[in-house]
Structure formats: structure tokens, C-alpha cells
Structure 1
Amino acid sequence: MSKPFESLATSKQQRIINAALKEFTDKGFEQASTNQIVKDAGIGKGMLFYYFNSKKDLYLYLIKYCLDITEHKYFSLIDANERDLFERLKKIALVKSEFLKKYPDAMNFISTIVLNGFEEMDDELQARMEAMKGIGYEKMYGNLDESLFREDIDAKKAYHLIRWTFAGYEEELKNRLRDQDMRSIDFEPYFAQFFDYLDVMRTCFYK
């Protein structure tokens, strides 16, 4: 973060960030207009480029910002001490629901990066994104109680089946929501459906 931007009041920083997140999400990097960003943020264009050297620098900053809040406002709230897989997945879903409500613009933006990528990310940022995926996987599937599974089921293979099932479910949701604005989506039915699937899988795999 540039020192001039860092010195701004938090409310003004957030106004600029939210305006930029919305514009880049709606139009993509190439088509996004810095004129629209400064208009929505209520600042002069010269000030935007005083805080950030270029449109690309602003975009890269937003990626880092979204990774930071994902780590500190989402991953950090997941209870990894819950060793029942299906209970943990339910709790993760509830944390994600609150995160979506609180940071819809950030979730919209980071979803476009996950779906479409951004070729101009440097190796360090690419590595950080990959590391975050690893953290997310560990939060979901690390340190689980395998004794909860039926004795006639190989727990390791069950984990793979469950993971593949929900990876497919997540991919289906991404395709269904690809062109929608996440700020206008009611996610409650999706979470209710997810909980139903968890209950079915619990019945199939647990004692």
C-alpha cells in the first residue's frame, strides 16, 4: 500500500476500494474506467493516481486486499478444532455466509480472479493465491476424526469422494452464478441446499 493512501481515513480508503472493486468486477480489467471509479469514490482522478501509480497497480492492490480479508476475516474464524467433518463444513458455510454479507464487493471481485485469472500477477502473488487454496483445503479437511465413519468404509477414500462431490457442486454453482452480481443474490437457498446434501452424506458415510 502506498503511504499517501495508507494515511487516509479508513472510511475514505474503503470508499475508494469499494468503488474500484465494483468497477473492475462489472467490467473486467481492460474495460474498467478509472473515471467511473473516481466518480463513485468522490475523489479527483489525479488523486487516484497519486495513491496508485497506475490502473494495474490499483488492480493488484485489490487482489492483495481481498486475499488479506479472506485470511483474516474468513479463514481465521473457522473452527479447526471441530473434528466432525460434516459439522465443520456446516460451520464453515455459516462463516462464509456472514463473510458474503459483510464483504460482497470483495467476494464478487475475488471470484472473477478465481474464474478468469489475471495474467499480470507476479510470481509472488500467484504463489500467495495458491497458498491460500492450500490453507482453505486444510481448514476443511485437516485434523478430522476418522473414527466417525462406518467401519466398512475406508475413511481416506470417503474423504476423496466427499471432496470430489463438493468440488463438482461448487463448479456447478460457479457456472450458474458466473454472470450474476453477487450483491443481489439471496444465498440462503444455496446454503440450505448445501446443508441438505451434508445430511445425506452423513447418513451414507457415518455410523
Structure 2
Amino acid sequence: MSHSNTTFDNLPDEKQQRIIDEATREFAEYGYHQASVNRIVTRLGIAKGSLFKYFGTKQGLFEHLFDRAVAQFKGPLKAARGASPDRDVFRGIEQSLLAGVNFIESHPMIYRIYLKMLFQENFPMREKFLTEVRKASAKYLRPMVEQGIASGQLRPDLDTDMAIHLLDSVMDRFLQSWSVPHLDGGIGLYQASREDVINKAAAVTDMLRCGLGNTASAGDKA
């Protein structure tokens, strides 16, 4: 749900993008409380009243950025989920990990905002925003898990909700490890080369396959 109004939506695309970029930069660098609308409008060269006319409040501006970021992240993930023509669930998971890294490379400021939200307890509406992130992730993963169980690729005794929680946790920590040095845990994932990221995504996926995969089905195929 967008928190802008038609005045903002009717602006030329280039102007909209400039406003979004400067606001994203401000929240990424300073967090929510220290972010300054004055700094944003000064860099943009527009009146402070214009920004409030577009979004109402600083909170309205942030909510618009949040909604926009979630929508942007969904596109690459959906493409990754459908990238496996043979509907291999684990291939879809592997491609999702890589799509996440690609997104962070393309939108580093957005991910910095997410990390601040994740680790700063005083972040406004933190519970609301993180709940929405987790719900969006679960909505993305549920069809993969259900299809995997139905097709026999995943163990038939899996608790679907627990499997979704596990995959969400693995994917979230994988991306954090690529982005934050002290969360890497010594595995060499932080800012790793593309080749190393691909190899580590494959290694994580293989581990998940061993734990979640239907070994009986695999044995039948052998």
C-alpha cells in the first residue's frame, strides 16, 4: 500500500526517483530518528512543504520507501523461484539466495535501512515493519515448500510452517553474512566474489537438501 498521494504519483518519473533516492540515502545513513527532512529537501532543492504535501509526515515518507522496497525485492525473487524449468525446489532456493545478493548489490541503501530496522530496538514501528517482511518472505516460500512436498522432493512428514521458518532464517542470515563482516562467522562470505557466492549458495542448498529432502524418493530414483 503506497503512502504517497496523487500529487507525488503525478510527478515526472525522474523527479520521483530523485526524491526516493535522496530519502533512502538519508534513512540509510542516519536511521529513522536522526534522519532530517531538512537535509533531504536541501539536497533536492525543493521546499520542505512540498515533501510534506507528497507524504504528509516523515513517517509517511518512510512508509512509502518501505512499501516500495518490499515491492522491488519481490520481483527478482519471483523470477528466481521460476528459474528452474524442472521445478527443482532446491534449485529455486539456491537461485533465491543469489537473487538476494544481487538485490543488495543493486540497492545497498535499502538493505542498510533493513539492517538498522532489524538491530535497532528503538526503530519506529519496528515490530510492524519486521512482521510485514517476515510475512512477505513466508508468502514467497510457502508455495515452494508445498510444491516440494507434493512432488516428493521434500519429506512428506515436514511441518510446513517450520520448514518455511527454517528457510527464511537461512536466507536472511546468508544475506546478512554477505553484507556485514561480524555476521560472516568466518565462512568467507562477506563481500565474497561472485564465484564464491555461487559456490556457498550451492553448499547451503546441499545441506538443506540433506536435511529436508525426501531421501526415500532419492533412493527410489537411484
Amino acid at match of 2:11: L
Amino acid at match of 2:199: A
> Which digits, 9 at most, give the CA deviation of each residue in 1:124-149, with x for residues without a partner?
x7775453132132254230155346
- Equivalent runs, 1:86-101 vs 2, <5 Å: 86-101=90-105
Which segments of 5 or more consecutive residues in structure 2 lack a partner in the other structure? 183-189
- Equivalent runs, 1:125-136 vs 2, <5 Å: 128-136=132-140
Deviation at 1:7, TM superposition (A): 1.2
Higher mean C-alpha deviation, range 42-51 or range 111-120: 111-120
TM-score w.r.t. the length of structure 2 is 0.67
Change (3 A) 1:190 1:116: farther
In structure 2, C-alpha distance between the alignment counterparts of 1:106 and 1:90, rounded to whole Å: 22
Deviation at 1:54, TM superposition (A): 1.6
Query: Structure 2 residue aligned with 1:61, among 57, 61, 64?
Result: 64
Query: Structure 1 residue aligned with 2:37, among 34, 37, 42?
Result: 34
Which segments of 5 or more consecutive residues in structure 1 lack a partner in the other structure? none
Q: Report 1 or 2 for greater relative contact order, CA contacts < 8 Å, sequence distance ≥ 6.
A: 1
In structure 2, C-alpha distance between the alignment counterparts of 1:89 and 1:176, rounded to whole Å: 16
Aligned residues: 198
Change (3 A) 1:126 1:120: same
Amino acid at match of 2:201: F
Equivalence for 1:147: 152
> Which digits, 9 at most, give the CA deviation of each residue in 1:67-90, with x for residues without a partner?
22223x234323187532321112
In structure 2, C-alpha distance between the alignment counterparts of 1:187 and 1:23, rounded to whole Å: 28
Aligned partner of residue 147 in structure 2, secondary structure: coil
In structure 1, C-alpha distance between the alignment counterparts of 2:144 and 2:118, rounded to whole Å: 18
Equivalence for 1:195: 202
**Does the aligned pair in 1 maintain the 2:26–2:36 contact within 8 Å?**
yes
Query: Structure 2 residue aligned with 1:108, among 98, 112, 134?
Result: 112
RMSD: 3.9
The percent of aligned pairs where both chains have the same amino acid is: 21
Higher mean C-alpha deviation, range 113-122 or range 25-34: 113-122
Change (3 A) 1:104 1:132: same
Deviation at 1:46, TM superposition (A): 3.0
Equivalence for 2:157: 156
Change (3 A) 1:6 1:168: closer
In structure 2, C-alpha distance between the alignment counterparts of 1:13 and 1:82, rounded to whole Å: 40
TM-score w.r.t. the length of structure 1 is 0.71
Deviation at 1:48, TM superposition (A): 1.8
**Does the aligned pair in 1 maintain the 2:101–2:175 contact within 8 Å?**
no
Equivalence for 1:84: 88
> Which digits, 9 at most, give the CA deviation of each residue in 1:141-194, with x for residues without a partner?
230155346xxxx553598679648725744763784589xxx95573444322
